[in-house]
Amino acid sequence: MTLIPSNSFIDFQQIVCSSLPNECSTKQHIIKGSRLQRILAPVESVEEDWRNTQRQMLKNKIYCSLYWYLLTKEQLRTNGFPRWTNRYKNCVSIELNYFDKQSGKKTYAECGDLERKCARCGKDYNLDRNGKVVKAACIYHPIPIKYIGPNVPKYNCCGEEIGAKGCTQACSHVSDTRLESTLREFKQTETPQSSLDPRTGNVYALDCESVYTVCGPEVARITLVDIFGETVLDCTFRPRNTIVDYNTRFSGLTRERVLGSRLRLSDAHAFLSHFINSETILIGHGLDNDLKALGVVHNKIVDTSILYPHWKGSPYKYGLKLLTKHILNRDIQQGSMGHDSREDAIATMELVLHKLGFGC
């Protein structure tokens, strides 16, 4: 099936894409038999101009329908989305979620605070005086606990019982703690340039993948998927700080892929601003994590982890894999090479369209 690119896609190719290196692609992608494909089926059978008009009307309809599901300011705050602390927009605050509060997790640390807890093995360790990671054996279980039968929890990675020595070893610890100074580096998505700004009516699913650096986790891949399942942006870039671990098992990123890129976070921001302004609706699953990693403040959010509430209620949330299986009857995150942000973004878009009643 051939999909017709949207106008913004064509503009992007003309303006930017011809000079893009290989690591940033705008390949079209759609999963065969998916809901995204089925909602297009009636549109595919008509002439091109009419088809474009139909696609634009469908996009407008979905954009308007999603207004009912946008997170409120209060929901954005309590679900950990970055919020400005003042009208000058030079610093954000991020509310800790219930589980981070309970565990005493340090999500942001002051510059002189060198104490960290390893996100893999749970050990306390210290950074060197420059705030960088030092080498040390990190022995851990890479897959979280799996419960087999009543009261017999085991690790999913190796099947050993809880408390058994780690089955995987790395040469340094890693931390989920970021520097507090990064809270002053966030950027607000641009306000529309005019009433005709084409970015205003856009709806995209966004997903990121991160690696561990000497200064905590940093984003290294970003993917944007539109309502038709087309990947309008899929970009790998180098983090600012030295990488400690590519987190391949979860991120799907490798040394070759990340270090082979000439792009930086600033490039990713520039590409993003081509598609997104402050009125664009962004869809994601736990999108607060993606926006924190990207250093972006945005208010028009539909989050599938809130759209499909957990039966126990807040603060519990379903994982994307489980939701996709239960709601769409489709398996994702099956590969051994980690998550694929494109696959995850398509799944979140489908979950939202399902909620709206499209393609059911």
> What does the binding site for Zn ion look like in residue numbers (CB under 5 A)?
118, 120-121, 138, 141, 155, 157-158, 167, 173
Contact partners, residue 350, CB within 8 Å, separation at least 6: 34, 35, 36, 229, 324, 328, 330, 359
User: With left for phi above 0 and alpha for psi between -120 and 50, is residue 218 left, alpha or beta?
Assistant: beta
| Letter string b/e over residues 256-273, b meaning 16 or more CB atoms within 10 A of that residue's CB | ebbeebebebebbeebbe
Give the nearest distance from C-beta 107 to Zn ion in angstroms: 18
Q: How far is CA 253 from CA 17, 25, 339, in A?
A: 22, 15, 9
Give the nearest distance from C-beta 145 to Zn ion in angstroms: 10
Q: By C-beta, is 142 or 315 nearer to Zn ion?
A: 142
Q: By C-beta, is 215 or 222 nearer to Zn ion?
A: 215
Contact criterion met (CB below 8 Å) for 206 and 345 = yes
Give the nearest distance from C-beta 213 to Zn ion in angstroms: 15
Q: By C-beta, is 76 or 118 nearer to Zn ion?
A: 118
Give the nearest distance from C-beta 254 to Zn ion in angstroms: 21
> What tokens were used for 353?
């369209």
Give the nearest distance from C-beta 146 to Zn ion in angstroms: 10
Helix (H) or strand (E) holding 327: helix 320-328
Residue 77 is which amino acid? R
Distance CA 358, CA 301 (A): 19
| Letter string b/e over residues 122-159, b meaning 16 or more CB atoms within 10 A of that residue's CB | eeebebeeeeebeeeebebbbeeeeeeeeeeebbebee
Residue in the structure block whose two tokens are 């959010």: 301
Q: By C-beta, is 79 or 251 nearer to Zn ion?
A: 251
Give the nearest distance from C-beta 161 to Zn ion in angstroms: 10
Q: By C-beta, is 24 or 119 nearer to Zn ion?
A: 119
Q: By C-beta, is 46 or 164 nearer to Zn ion?
A: 164
Give the nearest distance from C-beta 118 to Zn ion in angstroms: 3
Q: By C-beta, is 217 or 295 nearer to Zn ion?
A: 217
Distance CA 269, CA 351 (A): 26
